[in-house]
Amino acid sequence: MIDKELLEILACPLCKTEVNLDNDKIVCVECGRKYPIKDGIPVMLIDEAEMAEESSEIKS
């Protein structure tokens, strides 16, 4: 779905850390935000990201 070379240069726009591909989402290894992939294009906008469940539980 996403080119491996593209995935290697992408970074979380909030944390500036690396990301991994998880099914149909790009996931930040630091904060856990999940960025959608629409029509094969990663949408790396903080406002479009889903928060990780673990991160929200820790902050509660």
Report the pLDDT value the prediction gives residue 57, as an integer from 0 to 100: 44
Identify the domain containing residue 23 by its residue range: 4-59
**Nearest Cα to Cα of residue 27 among 60, 53, 58:** 53
Report the alpha-carbon distance of residue 59 to residue 39 in Å, rounded: 33
Report the pLDDT value the prediction gives residue 54, as an integer from 0 to 100: 56
Report the pLDDT value the prediction gives residue 53, as an integer from 0 to 100: 73
| Residue that the structure tokens 């902050």 belong to | 59
CATH code at position 26: 2.20.25.10
Report the alpha-carbon distance of residue 4 to residue 6 in Å, rounded: 5
Report the alpha-carbon distance of residue 35 to residue 51 in Å, rounded: 9
Q: pTM of this prediction?
A: 0.81
Q: Digits of tens for pLDDT over the chain (60 positions)?
A: 688 899 999 999 999 999 999 989 999 999 999 999 999 899 999 999 999 775 444 444
Please state the domain count of the chain.
1
* 12, 33 contact by CB (below 8 A): yes
